Amino acid sequence: MDWKAGLTRVAGGAATLVLDALMPPRCAACGEPVDRPRALCLACWSTLTFIGHPCCAICGDPFEVAPPGQPVCGDCLAAPPPWRRARSALRYDAASRALVLGFKHGDRLHLGGLLAGWMRLAGAELLADADVLVPVPLHRWRLLARRYNQAAVLAHALGEVAGVPVSDRALVRARPTPSQGQLTRSQRARNVQAAFRVEGRRQLEIAGRHVLLVDDVLTSGATAGACTRVLLRAGAASVDLLTLARVV
Ligand SMILES: [Zn+2]
Ligand SMILES: [Zn+2]
């Protein structure tokens, strides 16, 4: 993060602290009054579905009943994903969608710490092995339009609580990709192919490192898969994936 972004973050943090002192705390999702700042109300909290154990050792999909021995799901046995392991804090559904979209498109950056706390719990095993956190990048045009990359905000908040360095300049989106919302799985895969690269002068931030790729939502896996392949080609020792939410 450069000094300008850092300054904006510090200023934003200070403004949030001042606001916290002046305003009664409100639920981070729905805005109802709550008893402490940056928390969720009980109603919002109870609608979220946290993903816990037992889950597939590779993809992190929750099991109804854990199979005996190495718990790997049928999908991962049939076609292993490009990353080594993936974990997510929340099931992506109507409740978490409101939270994620508010974080992505609204000015809810102050949620970063709360959301990163959940990700830290879900990704404890992955964080223990990680040398560096790498957020899935936005193309600079979209970054300009949106002003911040939600994956980078999560990665920095996570890096702070977990004590792992963040590399947010090494992996870049080399060309803009249109919004993925309406596309089918195969269209998405084509769409993201060749969209990412590792900056040659920053390859040392990746080469030989155990990389933990960070994003807000895992849907088809096309974007994270493209990033993973690019990181491995740049010499990453391994790539794990941690997201706030995932489609199950
Ligand atoms: Zn609420
Ligand atoms: Zn699996």
Q: Give 214's Cβ-side CA count (13 Å radius).
A: 30
The ligand that comes nearest to the alpha carbon of residue 67 is: 2
Q: How far is CA 139 from CA 82, 144, 169, 192, 195, in A?
A: 22, 9, 12, 12, 9
Q: How far is the CA of 241 from the centre of ligand 1 (A)?
A: 28
The ligand that comes nearest to the alpha carbon of residue 54 is: 2
Distance CA 161, CA 178 (A): 33
Q: How far is the CA of 29 from the centre of ligand 1 (A)?
A: 5
3-state secondary structure of 172: strand
* Count, residues in the chain: 248
Q: Which residues contact 122 (CB under 8 A, 6 or more apart)?
A: 50, 51, 60, 87, 88, 89, 242
Q: Which residues contact 212 (CB under 8 A, 6 or more apart)?
A: 123, 126, 127, 129, 130, 132, 133, 134, 164, 239, 240, 241, 242
Q: Where are the domains of the chain?
A: 82-246
Q: Pick the residue with more confidence: 198 or 144?
A: 198
CATH of domain 82-246: 3.40.50.2020
pLDDT band at 112 (very low <50, low <70, confident <90, very high): confident
Kindly state the average pLDDT of the residues 179-207. Answer: 81
DSSP 191-229: HHTT-EEE-GGGGGGTTT-EEEEEEEEESSSHHHHHHHH
Neighbours of 167 (CB within 10 A): 20
Tell me the one-letter amino acid at 195: A
Q: How far is the CA of 92 from the centre of ligand 2 (A)?
A: 17
pLDDT, residue 14, reads 55
Does pLDDT of 7 surpass 50? no
DSSP 66-134: PPSSS---HHHHHS--SSS-EEEEEE-SHHHHHHHHHHHHSS-GGGHHHHHHHHHHHTHHHHHH-SEEE
pTM to 2 decimals? 0.83
Does pLDDT of 215 surpass 80? yes
Does pLDDT of 174 surpass 70? yes
Q: How far is the CA of 32 from the centre of ligand 1 (A)?
A: 6
